[in-house]
Structure 1
Amino acid sequence: MLKTILNTLFGLSLLLFGLNPQALAQERGNEQARTSPNASVSQTIGTTIVKISYGRPGVKGREVFGGSLVPYNKVWRTGANESTTITFSDDVTVQGEELSAGTYSLYTIPGEEEWTIIFNKNISWGTEYDESQDVLRVTTTAESADANEQLMFYFEDVSETSGTAVLRWDDVKVPFTIEV
């Protein structure tokens, strides 16, 4: 019963924040349109709400992964502008590892085949990564995909107990499993 009430309150707060994007926005300094516009996606898995908020950079004819834009084997802020954030209304497991309910910044370490997904406590301008604030690191296998101009996150294979969050940009798809 208490969990249901808390989930309802959390859902209402997400709805209110969704109607007022500046309630979640970090200080951006001006009101100009962004080259990499902000976006968000949310998914309910069972009764757990998962929300990802991020900036959407474009390929714009550049080499994305493995070059100077997003080098392999180095921490990437995983998006543009402010920290990409992921919020869980309840405790979850990600790639089989436990993670407490809350909001985390989402960083990655891209590799040619394997990626590390990092959940970090420090929510800031996206380039201010602090490894000492890492809460969880998990690995996943990247997949080839059709070209996609702008970075995007979405969910697939959603059931009452799990779902797959997917990071997709350029010709790469990076899935990670969330279980509730």
Structure 2
Amino acid sequence: MRCLRVSNCFRVALLGAGLALIASQSAVAATGQMGGMDMGGGAKKPMASPPATATVNFGGQQVVIKYNTPSMRGRKIMGGLVPYGQVWRTGANPATTLITPVPLHIGALLVPAGTYTIYSLPDPKEWKLIVNKQTGQWGTEYTQGMDLGRVPMKGKTLDRPQEVMSISFDGTKGNETELHVRWENTDEFVKVTTP
């Protein structure tokens, strides 16, 4: 573009730079909105399976399980959404994570201090709890070759259906507790101790 006067060239260049700046700021704002950031201050929809934590203390050391809590929402869970005979993520969304600063016995399985993923193998007769060494993955990513081990769980039927799945440590006394997985009419549990 040819400018007849220097002052006109300066004005055209300044106007072009201003429009470019406005366009780039609009693009950044749009990218933020698409990335899940609420730039407009609107209300956010709650997660369908919000995160939860189960904790227990052994000798001042906290053992933590981080998981997400799916809900029944009118669905058949055991033998339906959670099929029998197939490995289940034991939660929702990211893999359920066990973090222990101390060695544990989960059932008869010795679990060294560290971070692990918890899966389960539901069965109408006897569930198995799976402790897996792979961590940080999505809950549906399971590699059997990374299993530290599998332990049988005991089960009982809940008096009434439990809408939201939960993991908890119950009946803690000294260096002993029970790890419970509850959902729908199912309560599966295994003894956990420190060696």
TM-score range, shorter chain: 0.7 to 0.9
Q: How far is 1:46 from its partner?
A: 3.3
TM-score, structure 2 length as denominator?
Answer: 0.73
Query: Is residue 149 from structure 1 mapped to residue 183 from structure 2 by the alignment?
Result: no
Contact 1:74–1:110 (CA<8 Å) still a contact in 2? yes
Match of 1:40 in 2: 53
Q: How far is 1:97 from its partner?
A: 2.0
Match of 2:62 in 1: 49
The CA distance in 1 between the partners of 2:36 and 2:188, in whole Å, is 32
Match of 1:64 in 2: 77
Contact 1:112–1:142 (CA<8 Å) still a contact in 2? no
Match of 2:181 in 1: 167
Q: How far is 1:30 from its partner?
A: 4.0
The CA distance in 2 between the partners of 1:177 and 1:134, in whole Å, is 19
Amino acid at match of 1:110: P
Query: What are the superposed Cα offsets for residues 92-120 of structure 1, whole Å, 9 maximum, x if unpaired?
Result: 11112211011111100001121010011
Q: How far is 1:49 from its partner?
A: 2.0
Q: Pick 1 or 2: higher relative contact order, CA cutoff 8 A, min separation 6.
A: 1
The CA distance in 1 between the partners of 2:52 and 2:85, in whole Å, is 26
The CA distance in 1 between the partners of 2:170 and 2:123, in whole Å, is 22
The CA distance in 1 between the partners of 2:181 and 2:59, in whole Å, is 21
The CA distance in 2 between the partners of 1:176 and 1:45, in whole Å, is 17
Question: Tell me, which stretches of 5 or more residues in structure 1 are unaligned?
Answer: 1-28
> What count of residue pairs does the alignment treat as equivalent?
151
Shift of the 76–49 alpha-carbon distance from structure 1 to 2, 3 Å rule, reads: same
TM-score, structure 1 length as denominator?
Answer: 0.79
Question: Larger radius of gyration, structure 1 or 2?
Answer: 2
Shift of the 30–95 alpha-carbon distance from structure 1 to 2, 3 Å rule, reads: farther
Contact 1:95–1:176 (CA<8 Å) still a contact in 2? yes
RMSD of aligned alpha carbons: 1.4
Q: Please give the secondary structure, in 2, of the residue aligned with 1:158.
A: strand
